[in-house]
Amino acid sequence: MKITPASIAFNQQGTPVATEFDDVYFSNQDGLAESHFVFFQHNGLPQRWQSPSSLPFVIAETGFGTGLNFLQTWQQFVESGQQAQALHFISVEKFPLTRADLAQALASWPTLQGFAAQLIQQYPAAIAGCHRLEFEQGKVFLDLHFGDVDDIFSDMACPPDGLVDAFYLDGFAPSKNPQMWSDSLFSHMARLGKPGSTFATFTAAGFVRRGLQAAGYSVDKVPGFGTKREMLCGRLENKPLTQSDSCWQRYQAKPASKQVTIIGAGLAGANLAHALAKRGIEINLFSQAEGAADGASGNLQGGFYPQLHVAPSHSSLIQALAFTYAKRTYACLLNDGYAFDGEFCGVLQVGFNPEQQARIQSLAERASWPQDLVHWVDVDTCSELAGIAMPYPALFIREGGWLNPPSLIDALLQKASSLSPLTCHYQHRLQHVERLPQGWLLTFDNGVQHQCETLVFATGAESINLPLLNALPLRPVRGQVEHLPSQGQLSKLRSVVCHKGYLTPAWQGRHAMGSTYTKGDMARDVRGAESDYNLSTLQTALADCDWVGEVHGDGQARASVRCTTPDHQPIMGAMPDVAAQQQQFQTLNQRKAEDIALAPSTLPGMYVLTGLGSRGLCTAPLMAEALVCQMYGEPLPLGQTLLNALNPNRFLLRELKKSAAN
């Protein structure tokens, strides 16, 4: 879905007005006071923040608009001095303001300036789906979903007991925006609300009151703000008996334990440790080598960019959302003083042959992606951005660049250990896993045994050696990257260039030039034939560059193994119990997976994050965050449709469906 920005004007009082809806974003009288009165007070806040809970307090809003309600709530949360609980604010916006309009609209609130500046800084590009922003050192989360509220709420995963504590039912007046105030919205509120969850809204429209009552809410009509006579607020008294999550496992019946064991110290393992530590979870991380970043994540320079299709397919939406999330995560690490090597110097995807030129041309013409994510540049601009002659049109991903995964992993682990107890056990190769009545017993090659309730595999391509992960159709793919000495014109390269392979600006006197793609090969020796292949791929693809013929290597390279999947998507979630599911889903061929309301059997307390393929720098942070939310019953930063595309169960369900049909 393409996201259309809001069309707004500012009236004489300086209040933003949506021209299409002919309605104000907030009261002309005093928008801030109205927000506090209607939404905050009438949801029983801040009093409801007094009871400590390990789960975040979740507010869901219809219509983010200028973010005034969010900023006001965030400010109150900080002033409440609440320490024990996090605030998780979910908001949906169909027509996002541009960053410039947002800044102008928020300039009216001097008391909120500190908060507004942080929001404006992190405000995401207009990509459909969920953008998770974090503030107050992870105490305040904003999930800003771009899309229609009906689509977003219906696609929102929800634990059996509900997700939301309080709803801010905003949106333009029902008379000006009747499409939004639908029975479908009210029934989604009842599905997503926890028993006893509350709502408040500025309107007193009769059909809104009746719709909410029919959905299970008790509704009170109370005096409205300022000159408004009445408004509505209420409580979810009759939570509908919703079926579980369908046969896609999104949440477990009970949250994971407060101690977690991770196997693997690559990008997946380090991002998991970071996401768990932010929640105060105690971590034991085991890995086989002498230190972290020994596997695929040990490359000197990796390109950081999303793999986008011309149209926003599920896979490219995952890439785009993961990329922007990763960028915010990396910026936050740097901000917090955790340094790593790399440069956000932009990535050029060059149209080096007619087929690629047609692809980038049509991606630009379809304009499915916002310009601040990716934009088309002509031949001259391409050379200017590259810093050397690059006579091709290209797509430019301005926020991308290259990163040094080992130092990034180090920064993630350092930050994790500053937030929560983290013990890294290196030189421990996992050999055997035994199921216990209460968890798992791990045996390592050095004889050490370790018992745990919650176990996450982040074992990259070597996952194929672990019998418990046999059910996953993982495919190892060897790759060799050259470390070219910086030389001649090449030394002036200042953006990452992607053609059939990729080439990075120099770091420590060398450029990364990659890479080969040898399926099924797990060997990690450096091969002269692959160096020749990498060089000739560069010289053939970029044959129009006058400098390319003189490029030469000196045999320095690194080889490692990617972990890929048949559908090229990562694998993230609870580990399926194959034998049990073969019994459970015998009738799958007659029904859609979505129609079977039966939680699939998974191995208790066992999770997996792998299959990051060739884009781990882009996808690992969001995959880790989503997995941790799933483990602890928190709101998920991805909708169900995209979660299904990542679910470890997807292969098994497809197989069961196919075999039942035959």
Ligand X SMILES: Cc1cc2nc3c(=O)[nH]c(=O)nc-3n(C[C@H](O)[C@H](O)[C@H](O)COP(=O)(O)OP(=O)(O)OC[C@H]3O[C@@H](n4cnc5c(N)ncnc54)[C@H](O)[C@@H]3O)c2cc1C
Q: How far is the CB of 352 from ligand X (least distance, A)?
A: 17
Q: Select the span of 112-120, 233-241, 286-294, 468-476 touching ligand X (CB under 6 A).
A: 286-294
On whether the CB atoms of residues 414 and 358 are closer than 8 A, the answer is no
Residue 14: exposure state from Cβ atoms within 10 A (0-12, 13-18, ≥19): exposed
On whether the CB atoms of residues 17 and 23 are closer than 8 A, the answer is yes
Site string for ligand SAM, 172-211 (x = CB under 6 A): x----x--x-------------------------------
With CB cut-offs between 5 and 8 Å by kind, which of ligand SAM, ligand X, none does residue 163 bind?
none
Q: What gap in Å lies between CA 386 and CA 358, rounded to an integer?
A: 21
With CB cut-offs between 5 and 8 Å by kind, which of ligand SAM, ligand X, none does residue 25 bind?
ligand SAM
Does 34 help bind ligand SAM (rule: CB under 6 A)?
Answer: no
Does 95 help bind ligand SAM (rule: CB under 6 A)?
Answer: yes
With CB cut-offs between 5 and 8 Å by kind, which of ligand X, ligand SAM, none does residue 303 bind?
ligand X
On whether the CB atoms of residues 618 and 317 are closer than 8 A, the answer is no
Amino acid of residue 394: A
Nearest to 247 by CA among 518, 600, 541: 600
Helices then strands, each counted (H, E), the chain: 17, 32
Cβ closer to ligand SAM: 66 or 454?
A: 66
Q: Select the span of 128-136, 186-194, 217-225, 452-460 touching ligand X (CB under 6 A).
A: 452-460
Q: What gap in Å lies between CA 569 and CA 563, rounded to an integer?
A: 10
With CB cut-offs between 5 and 8 Å by kind, which of ligand SAM, ligand X, none does residue 115 bind?
none
Cβ closer to ligand X: 122 or 515?
A: 515
Does 286 help bind ligand X (rule: CB under 6 A)?
Answer: yes
Does 483 help bind ligand X (rule: CB under 6 A)?
Answer: no
Sheet holding 230-236, edge to edge: 129-135, 140-146, 87-93, 57-62, 164-169, 193-201, 230-236, 217-223
Cβ closer to ligand X: 189 or 498?
A: 498
Cβ closer to ligand X: 263 or 656?
A: 263
Q: What gap in Å lies between CA 329 and CA 120, rounded to an integer?
A: 16
Does 296 help bind ligand X (rule: CB under 6 A)?
Answer: yes
Does 148 help bind ligand SAM (rule: CB under 6 A)?
Answer: yes
Q: Which two tokens stand for residue 105?
A: 């609209």
Q: Select the span of 185-193, 212-220, 285-293, 640-648 touching ligand X (CB under 6 A).
A: 285-293
Max Cα-Cα span within the chain:
80
Nearest to 218 by CA among 252, 193, 242: 193
**Residue closest to ligand SAM when measured from CB atoms:** 63
Selected binder of ligand X within 610, 640, 644, 647 (CB under 6 A): 610
Selected binder of ligand X within 66, 198, 201, 288 (CB under 6 A): 288
Cβ closer to ligand X: 536 or 589?
A: 536
What sign for the dihedral angle of Cα 373, 379, 383, 388? Answer: positive
Residue 82: exposure state from Cβ atoms within 10 A (0-12, 13-18, ≥19): middle
Does 612 help bind ligand X (rule: CB under 6 A)?
Answer: yes
With CB cut-offs between 5 and 8 Å by kind, which of ligand SAM, ligand X, none does residue 615 bind?
ligand X
Cβ closer to ligand SAM: 171 or 312?
A: 171
With CB cut-offs between 5 and 8 Å by kind, which of ligand X, ligand SAM, none does residue 149 bind?
ligand SAM
CA dihedral in degrees (549, 307, 343, 369; nearest 10)? 120
Q: Which residues bind ligand X (CB under 6 A)?
A: 263-269, 286-289, 294-297, 299, 302-303, 429-430, 458-462, 479, 481, 514-515, 560-563, 610, 612-618
